A and B are shown apart, each in its own frame.
Chain A
Amino acid sequence: MTAVVTGIGVAAPNGLGTDAYWRATLAGRGGLRPLTRFDASSYPSRVAGEIPDFEAAEHLPSRLLPQTDRMTRLALFAAEGAIADAGLRPEELPRYGAGVVTAASGGGVEFGQRELQALWSQGKDHVSAYQSFAWFYAVNSGQISIRHGLRGPSGVLVTEQAGGIDALGHARRHIRRGTPVVVSGGVDGALCPWGWAPQIATGLLSTAADPDRAYLPFASDAGGYVPGEGGAILVLEDDEQARARGARRYGEVAGYAATLDPAPDSGRPPGLLRTARLALDDAGIGSDEVDVVFADGAAVPELDRIESDALTELFGPYGVPVTVPKSMTGRLFGGAALDIATALLAIRDGLIPPTAPVDAPAAEHRIDLVTGAPRPARLRTALVLARGYGGFNSALVLRGCNDTTDSEETAR
């Protein structure tokens, strides 16, 4: 059974809403800025992908505000956008005909920090009744389900950054097993001190003060990553139903695979290359059919090398256009589902967005990294890669549906 994406909802640091995001991304306009959400002056890393223009009260009923972390509010915004974009009315579906599968990483961290502070500085009677669910990893799936009346098979996966891909891979399982619609993806964010300190401890965060030089995947001066907030929620739908109701189809989830790296001391190779191959096998295609790769782009030299080696092995040196538009949003953890949305928009418009502001890849990375202006190309098949801390690898193959689209209408 074929699973197609029929709706996209985006909340990103460089654009709230799909169109604003896509325009900014094509223009190479990034959303990384010096942190304003909290006083970061005492930390070695002070740049993040903050969403500057999101006022939750403008988008959500007021009763939801006391019980939601910011990342859940953004997730609800994106889910509403995706369902509207798909032209879907969940109440017209069978009672258990639509599920929700999202990715999480740290949960509602800012909400959790506030309640931990209340408990430890003021006492247990100051802890919010909503703490019992507002911070936990399942919260976005639960809230989206409740808001839109989605009662079908659901789930929540935690594989750090790889989760944004795994959610869609798992959603496809539900479609194949007979659930016609699954609202899926990930929206994440932990831009608060309690979300910041654990990442500093890993040593993987960029310490550059200049937002334009802070997150540079595959560049010779790649020096770590920048975290952001946001992500994408997509509507995944059984192809037959999508056609029957005349829905616009962005593309098909044609292949998916996930693996775990071997133990670091095992002497065995990392799993990214194997994951990409498995996903291509799952899609029933060879590497020569891939038109563009949306890479993980860790911007940690050793991890970049592993990825560019895998791409060179699979496609040959400079064998396929590679892009990392998350350089403009920061890494979004569960929000890595945004790369899937971006790839589908690229297929729709025949334009590969650049890895801005990277000028050129380091010479050691023999990949055709798209930089500068967006590159026009006939795009039918995209490979999306993601890795999660601890050794998670995920790969998704997207294939365009050849639907004729009115470019003026879709660009609106």
Chain B
Amino acid sequence: MVITGLGAVAPGGIGIKAYWELLTAGRSATRTITHYDPSPFRSRVAAEVDFDPVREGLSPQEIRRLDRAAQFAVVAAREALADSGLAVAALDPGRIGTTLGSAVGCTTSLEQEYVVVSDGGRHWEVDHGYAVRDLYRHFVPSSMAVEVARLAGAEGPAAVVSTGCTSGLDALGHAAELIREGSVDVMVAGATEAPISPITSACFDAIHATTPRNDDPEHASRPFDRTRNGLVLGEGSAVLMLEELEHARRRGARIYAEIAGFASRCNAYHMTGLKADGVEMAAAITAAMDEARLGPDSLDYINAHGSSTKMNDRHETAAFKVSLGEHAYRTPVSSIKSMIGHSLGAIGALEIAACALAMEHSTVPPTANLHEPDPDCDLDYVPLQARVQRTDAVLSVGSGFGGFQSAMVLARPDRRMP
């Protein structure tokens, strides 16, 4: 299963080119929230996308019908389709599948519509007379997978994968599985999220998950730094085209990377908490590495979950040590959430897109804002500056509410003996 097309809508830039420029420049796209008045909230920082749907080519119908998250996904999917050079119209529609990861679906539109039909929360019995015709599309996030599928004329299996903050990785893992089992030849697979809305701010405030570093928004997301104090919410989408290797070779496609291994585990511990030992994430890493038939010594780069919470970054550092042993200290690790924040269900796909680009350019993106290393986080986190280096085998991990832990390994397909 190989990646042959990329598309991204990310804070700091729309399109793969702008995305990669941001990541390699080590520039943070986090700022004071502009989507709504954040003044009542404890955390008032986010990584927002400057997104003009008209400029991005969406029709008035699409703009009316689609939640912001679905709009992101459509724009990213169009770019991925074009980037792949696949003539989808010539393919059997039944052999093209779609998976889209999202943790909170169309939450922004749902909240806006809730405010209308409840008259600002005054009525429990909301007035359906004020409901927009498309309200049910927002209610069931599966509608977003349909929108993406339509772009490719896809009539194979379609689904939204929603495993909280591992949704993006899990959606890609799911897609790779569908190709492997022979159900499809091509997958349009990715993830999207547009969670920056008052209800999300409120619930993350309530558990102190988000950072209160409001006076310094550009440096608020600082994974692995001693002074980190919470995640910065982000938004965006990445969509990838996946094909079976021979299918891609036959048409002479550019191959970014092979999805060589994927695994997920649960910690069965707590809906939001993490045990410090990281053993379940370590188990996912080991299983994904085994599937890829790679030893810890062959990893060139780890794209960390690195959410910038106290708990996560220690948990994850422990997981790398458990699964990779001494090699954890020799392998560069970075968190791009330092630049684009944490876009919940979307981030896993954005991170895999970043890994594919890292392989394409033999360059590892840095962890921005890492000035004072946490003594408990003692690996090589590639602080501040991108690094040009061999990037042939890459691990990306995710961890999320519900206890989900996922790991994916990308590798160059030519490393494989025929």
**Closest chain B residue to A141, Cβ basis:** B402
**B140 pairs with A132, CB closer than 8 A:** no
A308 to chain B, nearest CB (A): 21
A321 at the interface (CB under 8 A from B): no
A157, B154: Cβ atoms closer than 8 Å:
no
Task: Return A21 CB to nearest CB of chain B, in Å.
Answer: 26
- The residues of A that contact B138 with a CB separation of less than 8 Å are 198
The answer to whether B133 and A201 touch across the interface, beta carbons within 8 angstroms, is yes
List the B side residues contacting A113 at CB < 8 Å: 114, 124
**Do A271 and B155 touch (CB < 8 A)?**
yes
CB-defined contacts of A163 to chain B, threshold 8 Å: 142, 159
Neighbour of A259 across the interface among B155, B203, B207, CB < 8 A: B155
Q: Verify if A25 is at the interface (C-beta below 8 Å from B).
A: no
Minimum Cβ distance to chain B for residue A183 (Å): 11
| CB within 8 Å for A121 and B120 given contacts A116-B114, A133-B402 | yes
Contact in complex: A142, B161 (CB < 8 Å): no
- The 0/1 profile, CB within 8 Å of B marked 1, for residues 141-161 of chain A is 111011011111111111110
In angstroms, Cα B269 to Cα A268, docked, is: 48
Asked whether A200 lies within 8 Å of B128 as measured between CB atoms, the reply is yes
**Count of A-B contacts with CB under 8 A?**
252
Determine whether the beta carbon of A133 is less than 8 Å from that of B199.
no
Query: Does A166 make an interface contact (CB < 8 A)?
Result: yes
Asked if residues A132 and B201 are in contact (CB atoms below 8 Å), the reply is no
A201-B150 in contact given A106-B140, A121-B122, A260-B156 (Cβ < 8 Å): no
| B365 sits at the interface (CB 8 A) | no
Give A119 to B122 CA distance when docked, in angstroms. 11
Residues of chain A within 8 A (CB-CB) of B118 are: 116-117, 120, 194
Residues of chain A within 8 A of B297, CB atoms compared: none
**Is B265 positioned at the interface, with any CB of A under 8 Å from its CB?**
yes
B402 to chain A: which residues have CB within 8 Å? 133, 138-139, 141-143, 145
Q: How many whole Å from A82's CB to the nearest CB in chain B?
A: 17
B283 touches A138 (CB 8 A): no
Q: How far is the CB of A97 from chain B (nearest CB, A)?
A: 11
Known: A258-B159, A262-B93. A38 touches B124 (CB 8 A): yes
The reply to whether the CB of B25 lies closer than 8 angstroms to some CB of chain A is no
Closest to B156 in A: A259
| Any B CB within 8 A of the CB of A378 | no
Distance, CA A141 to CA B161, complexed state (A): 12
Residues A154 and B271 in contact, CB atoms below 8 Å apart: no
Q: Are A127 and B141 in contact (CB under 8 A)?
A: no
Q: A116-B114, A142-B401, A259-B156 are in contact. Are A200 and B140 (CB under 8 A)?
A: no
A201-B272 contact, Cβ under 8 Å, with A156-B161, A260-B157 = no
If A138-B404, A155-B170, A390-B146 touch, whether A106 touches B139 (CB-CB below 8 Å) is: yes
Given known pairs A137-B162, A160-B140, A260-B146, the reply for A117 and B124 (CB within 8 Å) is: yes
- Does B104 have its Cβ within 8 Å of any Cβ on chain A? yes
* Interface band, chain B: 35 or more
Assess whether A142 is in contact with B204, with CB atoms less than 8 Å apart.
no
Cβ-neighbour of A201 out of B136, B157, B164, B269 (below 8 A): B136
Task: Write the nearest CB–CB distance from A228 to chain B, whole angstroms.
Answer: 16
Interface size of A by CB at 8 A reads 82
Set A38, A132, A258: member contacting B206, Cβ < 8 A: A132
Residues of A within 8 A of B158 (CB): 159, 258-260, 392
A391 to chain B, nearest CB (A): 6
- In the complex, which residues of chain A have a beta carbon less than 8 angstroms from the beta carbon of B170? 155
Contact, CB under 8 Å: B40 / A197:
no
Residues on the A chain within 8 Å of B325, using CB: none
* Complex Cα–Cα for A42 and B124 (A): 12
Would A197 and B142 count as touching, CB distance under 8 A? no
Instruction: Say yes or no: B155 contacts A260, CB within 8 Å.
Output: yes
Q: Which residues of A contact B369 (CB under 8 A)?
A: none
Knowing A120-B115, A124-B201, A160-B140, the reply to whether A154 touches B267 (Cβ < 8 A) is no
Residue among A119, A141, A148 making CB contact with B121, cutoff 8 Å: A119
In the complex the two chains form, is B280's CB within 8 Å of A151's CB?
yes
Interface assignment of B414: CB less than 8 Å from any CB of chain A: no
8 Å CB contact of A105 from B115, B124, B140, B268: B140
B164 engages A136 (CB within 8 Å):
yes
Question: Pick the contact of A120 from B121, B137, B404 — CB < 8 Å?
Answer: B121
* B367 located at the interface, meaning its Cβ lies under 8 Å from any Cβ of chain A in the complex: no
User: A263 an interface residue at 8 Å Cβ cutoff?
Assistant: yes
Min CB–CB distance B349 → chain A (angstroms): 16
Question: Chain B residue with minimal CB distance to A105?
Answer: B140
Q: Does B86 contact A (CB under 8 A)?
A: no
What are 25 A-B pairs at a CB distance below 8 A?
A38-B124, A95-B283, A105-B142, A116-B199, A124-B205, A127-B199, A128-B206, A136-B162, A137-B103, A142-B164, A148-B268, A155-B163, A157-B161, A158-B141, A160-B142, A163-B142, A163-B159, A170-B174, A194-B118, A198-B135, A259-B156, A260-B157, A262-B155, A390-B142, A392-B158
